[in-house]
Structure formats: structure tokens, C-alpha cells
């Protein structure tokens, strides 16, 4: 660096490189390998909190729980977008900078690469014996022993070894392994393709889920989803127009051993109507075997039980009849918790809450619980609340939770010290609520969550991944090297051929290439005496 100001008294000022100079300097810094390395480390470091702090996109429930437990910390996390690391501005900044650095590195390298690919293998160095691998062969005098023929033989041998060969005055130059640089460029460019695929999926894709009870249908429209996330560029009118009906959900569980109750097989039997007007057809959805319906994939999600009940009110009218999905709370026995809300009951609204136990058991420690996920001894255990369900307040309510603020629990009797009414019902049983009505446990059905996803970016992303792998293999395993052959006559008029090789990357077997050429020369020069007199092989340097 030079100081342009000639005045000695003046404080040293930075060189006036100007805005263009600054930009060029910044660009050079950004596209240097060192910066790329640092950005790679930052990317790795930045991903760590995303794996340790609950992420909204991965497990929203865990985020809510974390917030309740650590409200103070959560507000700090919010400021740093730590609940959504992978879409946070700082994480995006890292990978976008890395991409810019990558492209900035690729463009000049592609230019160099294209020039190198078109260039002739370089001229033969003067001192071949200085190269890491070198042999000299003296040919026996004969018809085939002039330098031109020897060079032609060597060139043919090198071409057979898939070298690109160029003839110079009295020598030939050969090079192979251009695929290494090709692979390197393809690998890095493919990463950009993968990123584009991810972006396309984000913009034009959708993901949704819906809980469907056996016997019920699902048609692929916005209103039918319990949960739907669409990309900013996704048009909901483009939802594939299929309809599904869940005929039957089948599950098989481990019967014995310490994994008793563990899931072994799930299948949802469905009837599919691909588009309005097409004939219904039977199909099945299993884990790992989604259904492909016009660009959308339908996956089998969680499953559970929906007890079917009939509720009569105090006047004896049927005010509710149907299957109500309960949510599993215990993965082993599939005990499920749920709520039946009956807003139309008279004289007061009714709410039932409790458990569905597929294979019921009871002990003093746990109370009622389930020992097996299959319905072998199904019981519905409920208690009852009467009053105002709070459904008209305008506040959205969970269908799985009872808001008991304006309700009173129904007791076993009207006595002052009566216990709250809790009853365990077998299929067909009825619980009677004096003056308020009754509930009959009619049976149960199973439900599944169907997850629907559409991702037009997955094909480009996969293609990018496959290309990246191919490029990576080429860039790591193709070993570029150069071989030179020079032939001349010595004082005695015999032809001396020198063969030498140079590695342009780590680890190619140069000796094999050189030996190959020497062998070809010897075998075409076999008219003379034994080859031991002909070859003077220099010892390999390694």
C-alpha cells in the first residue's frame, strides 16, 4: 500500500480507491476461499440453535410450551428469530452470502475452465528428467525405430489411455482428467439448482392436513383442511380436484415381548374419485406408500379412535348422534382423551369429557388406563358438565377441550356431599343424567390424519442433488495429469525416447501411465534383441 499524499505533516490517509475500488475490494474479499470457509462455519454454527430450540415450523406445540415455561427467555428468542432459525433474516443472510460468494467464485473459474478445455495440451518442458516420473528408453535400430514412428506409437498408446494428444516439434504432449474441473463446477452449480428447487417449493407448494373418521369423506378444497399452508404463489383453485372416502383403517401391533403394543402395520383403505365425474376406485395408503393424485401426494398421518355416542336431552329428544374424535395421550395403550359438546340440549347445554380406553384396565396408581392399542375391551369413561358451553362468546374454542368456566359438574346425586358423576361405559351402555338427559355409547370408529402435499420444486431439487453427487465424484476421483514424450537420435544414431509425467492433483498413478507408454514402445520395437538392453528406467522418485 502506498501513501499518495506527499506532505509529511499530514496524517496518513487511506488510499483513495474510490467507490469502484471499494466495491472491487469487497467483491474480491467475498469471493475468496477464506470467506467461503468462514461462511460455511457460520452456516454450521447458525444451524445449531435450530436443532436445540423448538422450531415453529417443526413442532409448534413445543414452542408454545417453551414460551409458557420461560416467558422472559422466549421474548429474547423472538427478537433473534430463534424459534424460526431457518427462515430468520440472519440465517438467510449467511446462505445468501454463501451463494453470492459461490457464484462470484464460479463465474471466473468457468471462464478459466472453458479456456483450459479448449486449449492444446501445453508445450513439452525442456528438462523432462526433472518431472516426478521419468523414463528413458533406447530403441533397437530397425525399421520402426525412427523418432517419428516412436512418437506415433506413443501417441496411439496415450490415446488408448484416453489422453488428449497434441504433437509438437520432436515431442508430443498429452493431458487427461478434464472431468475433474467439470465435476467441481457442476457440483457447485448444482447447489444453486437445489436452492432454486427449495425456493420454488416454498413459493408454489402447499401442505395441509385433515382428520378423517372411518366412513367420512374428504374433498380437496380449502374448507376441508384442519391445517393448510400454501406458498405465496400457490393458487388454491389449482388444488387437485380429488375426493377420498376412508372405508377402513387397519392396524397391527406387536403382541408379545417388551415391545408389546408397538405398531407393526398401518393401512388406510380408501375410495378415490380422482376428479368430479370419474368412477370411484379402491386404493390404500400406508406409511412410506403415499397416494399420488394429480400432482398431490396424500400421506398417512397419526391415527386414533372416535367413540360414537347418542345424546338425548331432558325432554327425551336426540340432540346429538355421531362419532367424536378423541386424541391419543398414551402411545402404548392408545388411551385417548376427548370431549363431546352438546349445545342443543335442553334445559341446559351439556359437555362430556373423559377417556376412550381401547383395552381398559384399572389400578389404584394410574386409575383407568389402556393396556393395548387394539379395541379388545373398549370402555368410554366420562364425566359430565352442564351450563353454558361458551360457544356463543365469539372466542374460538378447541373441539378437544371443554371450557368449564360457566358450567357445573353433574354429581352422582343431589345430596350435598355427592361425588362428581363418572361412569365407565361398555358398548351399548347408557349413562343417565337425572333431569338432564342421557348418553349412549353406540360404538367406535377409527380416524386418521391425511396429509396432503404438493411441491413442484422437488424434481429440480432432486436433479440438483443427483448432479451435485455426480460432480462431487468426478471432482474427487478424476485425477488430471500430463504426459510428455520426446524422441531424438543420439550420437550413435539410435532413437532415445523420454517419457515423463506430472500430476495436476493429488495421487494419480503416474508410473502406470509412463509404463504403459514404455511398454507400447518396446513391443512395437520387438524386432531387435531382448528388451533388457533397450530400457534404462530411472528410479521412481517416490
Partner 1 sequence: MVHENLADVSDRLIYASILVYALAMLALCAEWAFSSRRFAAEAVEAVPVKALVGAGGPEVAEILPAAPPARERAEKFGRIGLSLAVLGFLLHLGGMACRGLAVDRVPWGNMYEFSSMSALAAMGVFLALTRKYDIRWLGVFVVTPVLLTLGLAVTVLYTDAQQLQPALQSYWLVIHVIAAVTSAGAFTVGAALSILYLVKEHAERTGSATLSRLPAADALDRIAYRVHAFVFPLWTFAVIAGAIWAENAWGRYWGWDPKETWAFITWVVYAAYLHARATAGWKGRRAAAVALTGFGCFLFNYFVVNLVVTGLHSYAGT
Binding mask 268-307 for partner 1 (x = CB under 8 A): ------------------xxxxx------x-x--------
Structure-derived torsion over alpha carbons of residues 136, 141, 142, 148, reported in degrees to the nearest 10: 50
Contacts of 331 (CB under 8 A, 6+ apart): none
Minimum gap (Å) between residue 232 Cβ and partner 1:
17
CA max distance for the chain: 130
Q: Tell whether residue 22 is a contact of partner 1 (CB under 8 A).
A: no
Minimum gap (Å) between residue 10 Cβ and partner 1:
35
Candidates 225, 236, 223, 241; CA nearest to 278 is 241
CB-based burial label for 177 (10 Å; 0-12, 13-18, 19+)? buried
Determine the Cα–Cα distance for residues 399 and 401; give it in Å rounded to an integer: 6
Grid cell locating 461: 431439487
Grid cell locating 193: 439448482
How far CA 239 is from CA of 217, 253, 310, 353, 455, in Å, comes to: 16, 35, 36, 37, 12
Neighbouring CB atoms inside 10 A of 360's CB total 23
How many of the chain's residues bind partner 1 (CB under 8 A)? 53
Q: Tell whether residue 332 is a contact of partner 1 (CB under 8 A).
A: no
Closest CB to partner 1 among 86 and 178? 86
Quick one: which of 92, 250, 259, 278 contacts partner 1 (CB under 8 A)?
259
Q: Tell whether residue 203 is a contact of partner 1 (CB under 8 A).
A: no
Residues 73-102 interacting with partner 1 (rule: CB under 8 A): 85-86
Grid cell locating 99: 451463494
Quick one: which of 3, 22, 26, 40 contacts partner 1 (CB under 8 A)?
40
Stretch that binds partner 1, among 10-18, 49-57, 218-226, 518-526 (CB under 8 A): 49-57
Minimum gap (Å) between residue 176 Cβ and partner 1:
19
Quick one: which of 414, 506, 529, 530 contacts partner 1 (CB under 8 A)?
506
Q: Tell whether residue 1 is a contact of partner 1 (CB under 8 A).
A: no
Q: Tell whether residue 468 is a contact of partner 1 (CB under 8 A).
A: yes
Closest CB to partner 1 among 163 and 218? 218
Residues 133-162 interacting with partner 1 (rule: CB under 8 A): none
Quick one: which of 57, 60, 217, 420 contacts partner 1 (CB under 8 A)?
57
Candidates 443, 446, 448; CA nearest to 212 is 448
Candidates 356, 238, 235, 245; CA nearest to 304 is 356
Q: Is the distance from CB of 465 to CB of 399 less than 8 angstroms?
A: no
Minimum gap (Å) between residue 284 Cβ and partner 1:
13
Q: Tell whether residue 265 is a contact of partner 1 (CB under 8 A).
A: yes
How far CA 279 is from CA of 83, 214, 220, 326, 497, in Å, comes to: 46, 20, 17, 33, 80
DSSP state of 531: G
Instruction: Return the residue matching grid coordinates 396424500.
Output: 298
Quick one: which of 472, 496, 511, 535 contacts partner 1 (CB under 8 A)?
472
Quick one: which of 23, 64, 80, 469 contacts partner 1 (CB under 8 A)?
469
Q: Tell whether residue 64 is a contact of partner 1 (CB under 8 A).
A: no
The conformational region for residue 334 under phi > 0 = left, psi -120 to 50 = alpha, else beta, is left
- Phi, psi for 377 (deg, rounded to 5): -145, 70
Minimum gap (Å) between residue 70 Cβ and partner 1:
17
Quick one: which of 2, 68, 258, 529 contacts partner 1 (CB under 8 A)?
258
Q: Tell whether residue 50 is a contact of partner 1 (CB under 8 A).
A: yes
Minimum gap (Å) between residue 473 Cβ and partner 1:
5
Residues 432-461 interacting with partner 1 (rule: CB under 8 A): 451-453, 455, 458, 461
Q: Is the distance from CB of 246 to CB of 213 less than 8 angstroms?
A: yes
Quick one: which of 47, 97, 377, 496 contacts partner 1 (CB under 8 A)?
47
Q: Tell whether residue 421 is a contact of partner 1 (CB under 8 A).
A: no
Stretch that binds partner 1, among 46-54, 74-82, 508-516, 520-528 (CB under 8 A): 46-54
Closest CB to partner 1 among 124 and 190? 190
In three-state secondary structure terms, 221 is: coil
Q: Is the distance from CB of 471 to CB of 193 less than 8 angstroms?
A: no
For binding to partner 1 (CB under 8 A), which residues are involved? 33-34, 36-37, 40-41, 43-44, 47-48, 50-52, 55, 57-58, 85-86, 198, 207, 254, 257-259, 262-266, 286-290, 297, 299, 451-453, 455, 458, 461-462, 465-466, 468-469, 472-473, 476-477, 506-507
Amino acid at each position: 500500500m502506498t501513501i499518495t499524499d506527499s506532505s509529511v505533516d499530514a496524517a496518513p490517509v487511506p488510499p483513495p480507491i474510490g467507490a469502484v475500488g471499494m466495491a472491487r475490494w469487497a467483491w474480491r474479499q467475498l469471493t475468496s476461499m477464506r470467506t467461503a470457509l468462514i461462511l460455511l462455519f457460520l452456516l454450521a454454527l447458525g444451524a445449531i440453535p435450530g436443532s436445540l430450540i423448538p422450531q415453529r415450523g417443526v413442532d409448534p406445540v413445543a414452542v408454545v410450551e417453551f414460551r409458557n415455561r420461560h416467558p422472559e427467555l422466549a421474548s429474547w428468542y423472538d427478537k433473534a428469530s430463534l424459534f424460526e432459525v431457518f427462515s430468520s433474516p440472519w440465517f438467510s443472510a449467511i446462505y445468501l452470502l454463501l451463494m453470492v460468494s459461490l457464484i462470484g467464485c464460479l463465474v471466473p473459474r468457468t471462464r478459466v475452465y472453458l479456456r483450459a478445455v479448449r486449449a492444446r495440451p501445453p508445450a513439452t518442458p525442456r528438462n523432462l528428467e526433472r518431472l516426478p516420473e521419468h523414463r528413458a528408453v533406447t530403441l533397437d535400430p530397425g525399421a520402426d525405430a525412427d523418432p517419428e514412428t516412436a512418437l506415433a506409437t506413443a501417441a496411439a498408446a496415450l490415446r488408448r489411455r484416453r489422453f488428449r494428444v497434441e504433437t509438437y516439434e520432436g515431442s508430443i504432449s498429452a493431458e487427461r482428467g478434464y472431468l475433474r474441473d467439470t465435476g467441481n463446477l457442476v457440483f457447485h452449480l448444482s447447489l444453486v439448482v437445489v436452492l432454486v428447487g427449495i425456493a420454488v417449493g416454498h413459493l408454489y407448494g402447499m401442505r395441509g392436513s385433515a382428520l378423517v373418521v372411518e366412513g367420512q369423506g374428504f374433498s380437496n378444497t380449502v374448507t376441508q383442511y384442519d391445517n393448510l399452508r400454501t406458498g405465496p404463489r400457490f393458487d388454491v383453485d389449482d388444488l387437485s380436484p380429488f375426493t377420498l372416502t376412508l372405508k377402513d383403517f387397519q392396524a397391527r401391533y406387536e403382541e408379545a415381548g417388551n415391545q408389546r403394543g408397538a405398531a407393526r402395520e398401518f393401512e388406510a383403505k380408501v375410495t378415490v374419485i380422482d376428479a368430479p365425474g370419474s368412477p370411484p376406485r379402491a386404493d390404500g395408503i400406508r406409511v412410506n406408500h403415499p397416494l399420488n393424485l394429480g400432482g398431490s401426494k396424500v400421506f398417512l398421518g397419526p391415527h386414533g379412535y372416535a367413540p360414537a355416542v347418542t345424546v338425548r336431552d331432558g325432554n327425551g329428544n336426540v340432540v346429538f348422534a355421531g362419532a367424536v374424535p378423541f386424541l391419543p395421550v398414551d402411545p402404548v395403550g392408545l388411551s385417548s382423551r376427548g370431549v363431546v359438546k352438546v349445545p342443543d340440549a335442553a334445559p341446559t347445554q351439556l359437555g362430556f369429557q373423559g377417556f376412550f380406553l381401547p383395552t381398559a384396565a384399572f389400578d389404584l396408581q394410574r386409575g383407568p388406563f389402556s393396556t393395548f392399542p387394539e379395541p379388545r375391551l373398549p370402555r368410554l369413561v366420562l364425566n359430565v358438565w352442564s351450563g353454558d358451553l361458551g360457544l356463543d362468546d365469539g372466542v374460538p374454542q378447541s373441539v378437544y377441550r371443554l371450557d368449564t368456566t360457566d358450567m357445573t359438574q353433574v354429581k352422582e346425586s343431589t345430596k350435598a356431599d355427592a361425588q362428581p358423576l363418572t361412569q365407565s361405559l361398555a358398548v351399548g351402555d347408557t349413562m343417565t343424567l337425572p333431569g338432564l338427559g342421557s348418553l349412549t355409547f353406540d360404538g367406535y370408529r377409527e380416524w386418521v390424519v391425511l396429509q396432503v402435499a404438493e411441491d413442484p420444486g422437488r424434481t429440480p431439487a432432486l436433479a440438483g442433488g443427483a448432479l451435485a453427487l455426480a460432480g462431487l465424484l468426478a471432482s474427487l476421483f478424476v485425477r488430471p495429469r500430463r504426459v510428455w514424450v520426446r524422441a531424438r537420435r543420439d550420437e550413435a544414431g539410435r532413437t532415445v525416447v523420454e517419457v515423463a509425467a506430472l500430476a495436476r492433483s493429488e495421487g494419480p498413478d503416474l508410473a502406470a501411465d509412463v509404463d504403459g507408454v514404455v511398454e507400447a514402445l518396446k513391443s512395437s520395437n520387438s524386432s531387435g534383441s531382448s528388451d533388457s538392453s533397450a530400457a534404462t528406467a530411472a528410479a521412481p522418485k517416490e
